[in-house]
Structure 1
Amino acid sequence: MNAATRAASTSAIAALVLAAAWLFWPAQLGGSTTYVTTHGVSMEPGFSTGDLAVLRPADSYEVGDVAAYYSETLDTVVMHRIVAVEGDRFVFQGDNNDWLDQDRPTADELLGTLFRQVPQGGKVLAAIASPWSLALVLAGIFGVFGNHRRKRPGRKAPRHRAARALPAVALPSFPSLPSLARPSLPRPASPALPASFSMPTRAQARQVAVGAGAVALLAAGSGVLLLGLPSTETEARSQPVTQQGTFTYAGPAEVGTTYPTGAVTTGDPVYTKLVDALTVSFAHTVDAPGLDTVDGSVRLDLSVATSDGWSAPLASGRPAPVVDGTATASAELDPTLAAALVGRHNAEIGATAGSASILVTPVLDVTGTVQGEQFTAGELAPLTFAMDTVALRPPSEGSFAPTGTVAVSVDTEVARSFGLLGVDLPIGAARLIAVIVLVLAVVVTAVAGWIGRPRAGDAADEFAVRNAGRILPVTGLSAGRSVVDVADARALRRVAERVDGLVLHHAGPDGQVFAVQDNETTYRFVFPDTAITRTPPPPPPPVRAAAPMTVPLPRVA
């Protein structure tokens, strides 16, 4: 594979990784993908508890789409199916529910439609983000690096272990050979290092390694802190208690064109000439998630009032007890009595008091508990009949079903979360982020440290890398009038810092020379024996046999 092919493959992989990251980046961290772990049975059989739903925003939403929204009523994220559209609002219902959701979110309030479903993926995600998983990852990382630090390169196994590992072998004996004078062989040069990075690159890599190491320590500390925190916390939440009322009325009437069946029913005008009495009923229901008990009673009070501010009681019904959260109270309404009271009031004031009406007011003496917290039912709007000389006329249909809500503060166990850049981050996601940051920081520290490592045994290279910001490589040095050889490299660095100048670097035959120019004075330090300039010593001259010495013998006479 040539360089062009490798570059193309690397670019393709990087593009795929970036595309996947953009596609699946969670909304809690600024992305657009929402991850929902399903609970309960509302979406069975398609979804089971523990499934993971991946949702993505859509340009438009239609009936039949499975979508998610944040429910203000339940104070949680709900994923159900769209079953109807009312104006600009959507109606949701669970596939396994026989009732509609109370919330009616708009398109802007939807978190997205179903993109992928991972069976039991929610349980896997929860296991990854659990304290035990994070502890295991941290232990593994620190264990690997601990073993790496304890391992010393170049360390050999003890001899006695090697001796035990090899079988005993009887070596053959050879006759002794005469000693020969051998020339000293040159010391082999160190094996060439792989192509290293430039000095500025290695210096920058060291800085990156230091920064990444600090991030790794911070992530490890954060992970340990997150491990020590409980996964849940108690939060005071407002739990709405819904009150639903329903008014009805009925009574006998003269059979005729006006009342063919001889009865008045809810919604009919009540003509006082044809109807002598009317029974008004009111059914009251209390409902809330986690509702424990409901006790008390409900009754109806009837009164007549005129537009000038006068009013008078007509009747009061008997209290009806609450049974299974519901109570139905009733009272008798006498149109003739109401008309007589209004007539007496007009006679007393000597004028017509204006329009008159009959009010049917529910009186609620209802209390209960939600998740152990007490509440008291609030007042609901009365039913008002408009009176004239002919009939009692009922209000619009919406007035027959008054509703109300009581907010109850309850303590709920919720997943612990943290505020990060204006987003509530669950503790599971925070632990997962800590693990990811820790792993990435450790990898960056290892890679950058390897790139920025100094050459083994090369003090000049280590000094150059550590002070790369001030080093200026030159091809030659011209000393000033006076040359000062400093004691060590640290002293030269202090001189460069004092004069705020560069350190000139020249690799020559005598070694690595580093110098600082201060006007006419040159401060210098030379590394005489480095891995760069070290060369094998020349071989000694061959040993030649000495010529025999001739000594003249004395002459004998």
Structure 2
Amino acid sequence: MSDFSPYQTPPTGRSTVPSFPRLLASAASALAVLGILLAAILLGSGQAAFVNTYGVSMNPLYHQGDLVVVSRAESYSVGDIAAYHLVSGEVALHRIIAGDANGFTLKGDNNESVDVDHPAAVDLIGKAVLHIPHGGKVLQILTTPPVLGLAAFALLAGAAPSLNRSRRRRAARKETMSSSAASQKTRHTVRAMFEAPFTPWTATATALGVVAMGLGIWAWTGPADAPARAGTEAHMDFSYSAAVPRTPAYDDTTVRSPDPVFRQVADNMKVHYTYQGPAATIAPVAELSTPGGWHTTVPLGDPTEVSSGTHRGTVKLEVAALEERAARAAKVTGLPASPLTIMVVPAVTGDGQDFRPALELSVTPLQVALVDPAALSVAGEKLETAAPRALTLGTWQLSAGISRVIAPVLLLLALAALMAIAANARRRPSRSEAENIRRRWPSLVIPVQPVPSVTGRPVIDVVDFPTLAKLAERYGLLVLHWTRSGIETFIVQDDNTTYRYRSGDGVGAQPVATPAETA
């Protein structure tokens, strides 16, 4: 009879199963390597970049020494915080306040003036997706030459002992333990993880890991924002009027577009606009400019929120006051103040939209005239919106930008949970061979009291239990089982022969049974 079966523990010796601290260190190293590779891929491909903030231009949102991760997007909207290269080579991280893909106007939240540069969408490094307070200071410390040198020394110093220990372990394994023991212990750990009381915890951690990987794949294989989609068509109609006394200059007491307004008769006028489109905010302004390059913007009223549909508004132009504003600037610059150009712009913003129709008027000492009659109607422009790409479940949404942060965190939690479960499952005592047999063949094995052997009936020992099970199934018999003195005995009795299989700690020391002994 064989002294060793697939269910028995092999001879004592040093275990080849890695200890929990080594498993933890290996997993941490693997995760660190994966993190470094992922960061290298993202940074190398230009899909993401790190911005170490300095100055106070974005206070109170960002402070000096913070670390901001920016990711390239398919489109950018008003309100996004974006990074771009200045002419000096430095990187600016400011908020988009106006513009379109052809050129954006940016401004620091804590700045009083807008940025001089107007980068296009292709010039932007990306928009902010992750803010790590004080992360820039930590990154600077970790990348200093002393820290990098210390890390290199630690790696080199630990490499040789690690190699020596690895060689000693391999030699010890060859001498004292077979590879089947390690496989058996590993199978025991995995099997125990999916048995009570670990089953619900293992299932939950595994599901969390699968969800985290799926969420990460979805978040990082596409843009942070969904492609811009065409919205409702925006339309703006202009007109103007001025009240005049009865004179030979006009046939009526009201001048209406597109006729010029003669300033000897009237010096003030009203500009009317009719907006048709989605809900938005309208802020009317007058943009003044002269041939010498001077320009300024004068508000013509408070911003007004309008609902979708049709909205009508009117602003008053005090031409003499605007002309005086240009004359004061001309005294300082020495440039001519005439002719003055007035652009009446009811700026439409909202939901990432930026629609700036303009009515251009030319002002001379004698008249205010419309530059282009076709500009009285600005139509046919579709306002595009680009919402963040998101997973939607009912009223709940999760954007791709947030998912890029959540996914690795969930994956780390899942891995930590599985490692903790594996550590506890590994310490759980292994089942005996008899317990494994009873669990695998519950309907075939019957527990009984020790059965005495019958005189003259031969007893045949089989080498393993599967063979005994096949004999029982072949003859349509049950396997009788009992335990005594640490020995597990399984027998199948037919009319003439007893087939027996034994296992346990004392099997190797037992003498061959005689017919008078118990089977």
- Give TM-score scaled by structure 2 length: 0.31
Higher helix share: 2
Rg larger in 1 or in 2? Answer: 1
- Give TM-score scaled by structure 1 length: 0.29
